[in-house]
Amino acid sequence: MNDFVIARCQMGMSMFFHIVFAAVGIALPLMMCLSEWLWHKTGHKEYEELAKRWAKGTAILFAVGAVSGTVLSFELGLLWPGFMRFSGEIIGPAFALEGIAFFTEAIFLGIYLYGWDKVPRKAHLFSGVMVAFSGAMSALFVCLANGWMNTPAGFRLENGKPVDIDPVKALLNQAGVPEAIHMLIAAYAATAFAVAGIHALLLLKNKKNLFHRRALALALCLGGAMAMIQPISGDVMAQLTARVQPVKLAAMEAHYETAAGAPIDIAGIIKIPKVLSLLAFHDHNAVVKGLNDFPKEDWPNVPLIHICFQIMVGCGILMMAVSLWASIHFFKTKELQDSDIFLKAVALVSPLGFIAIETGWMVTEVGRQPWIVQNILRTSTSVTPMPGLAYTFVLFTLLYIFLALIVVFLVFRQIAKSPLIVESDVVADKQS
């Protein structure tokens, strides 16, 4: 492999690991706050224990995410100096705001972790809300910067250089906010389903454990709600892609010939007439451009993008199906669905949210290639001329594997300490 390919692989590998840490760091604080709020509202000790456990998980992921995110930031400048030279003045404010959100999150996370019984209950819960809010804001500002790479704005080109720079217009680019909403919903859904899967497995061993029952119910409520509304965000993203990145849309659907009433291809087996036109433009007779209308040197990796897109959609559909199953059962019985087959289904789909996030980012980033800034700056002209990138690629890969192993070890330690709380314990506590 040449250094250009290695640089892309290193950046992709770093994003592959970091996005998991980041997604959990976004969503787990919200679950932590919801659990504490339920403890205040109901007085059930299980929710207090859940809040404390999820707070520790948040701290672990925050620390690891800070390391992986710092590495990613350095790689952006060291591997792609041409990109930073061109765009630094334009999207620099987005990264500065992300830094402010990061430090705000760190401050309030410290208060939350060490403020139990030391600050008033409302103040403690507020600190948790600020952790969740700051995490979401960090994601927002990063996605605004990434959205700018897909729909550049806030400047004009003069002799190949950006002039008349307006950072506010750059932040408010067409793709930024829709991309941020899509990512936030995905993070909440993926993390909640992963948590639900862990507690579902533990409930298979003891269905009377109220700690795991409360955790599963709360996680399914959040994850299920997010999985159900994600298609709305996806529809907005699809229409935006059709308008501003038609070659990416064509690659996502492996659509080669321009056609009115274009069909959608499902797994290369089923073609449904006119559905692609309907989804992309809300008009079943709309014309959808095919890949053959674009120069081949401007094509992304079509098989990879097409497969990743189909995996992402498939994961989302399966998560929605389990969410509907749980919802229908609850509305009929007003109880948590806890049959063995349901708990096993939750455990099976629990990793799909993160698979969807990984494949979704592949579609977003690889689908933009060969451009690092859409239709303005090519990735190949932005890479560092420094040789020997294979060594740093191996070094950083080992670093991320090490961080992942630490996370797995620490998380499993937390799971192993799960308390055994059964209904008889709660009754005895109330009587005392």
The DSSP annotation for 65-114 comes to HHHHHHHHHHHHHHH-HHHHHHHHHHHHHHHHHHHHHHHHHHHHHHHHHH
Residue 382 lies in a domain: no
> For position 194, what pLDDT does the model report?
94
Residue 37 lies in a domain: yes
Residue 14 lies in a domain: yes
262: DSSP letter = -
Q: Is the pLDDT of residue 431 over 70?
A: no
Q: Domain count of the chain?
A: 1
Give the mean pLDDT of 241-258: 92
- Could you write out the DSSP letters of every residue in 381-423? GTS---S-HHHHHHHHHHHHHHHHHHHHHHHHHHHHT-----H
In angstroms, the CA 432 to CA 430 distance is: 5
Percent of the residues in the chain that have a pLDDT greater than 70, as a whole number:
95
Residue 147 lies in a domain: yes
* Contact in structure between 109 and 411 (CB atoms under 8 Å): no
Residue 223: domain span = 3-247+312-362+387-431
- Could you write out the DSSP letters of every residue in 151-206? S--S-EEETTEEES--HHHHHT-TTHHHHHHHHHHHHHHHHHHHHHHHHHHHHHH-
Q: What mean pLDDT value characterizes the chain?
A: 88
Residue 269 lies in a domain: no
294: DSSP letter = S
Q: Read off the pTM.
A: 0.91
In angstroms, the CA 387 to CA 369 distance is: 22
Residue 20 lies in a domain: yes
**Position of tokens 């995490």?**
135
> For position 266, what pLDDT does the model report?
79
243's CB contacts (< 8 A; 6+ apart) are: none
Q: Assign 133 a pLDDT band (cuts: 50, 70, 90).
A: very high
> For position 209, what pLDDT does the model report?
84
Residue 284 lies in a domain: no
Q: pLDDT digits over 250-291, tens only?
A: 999 999 989 898 888 777 777 888 888 998 898 988 999 999
Residue 305 lies in a domain: no
Question: What does the block give as tokens for 10?
Answer: 């290193």
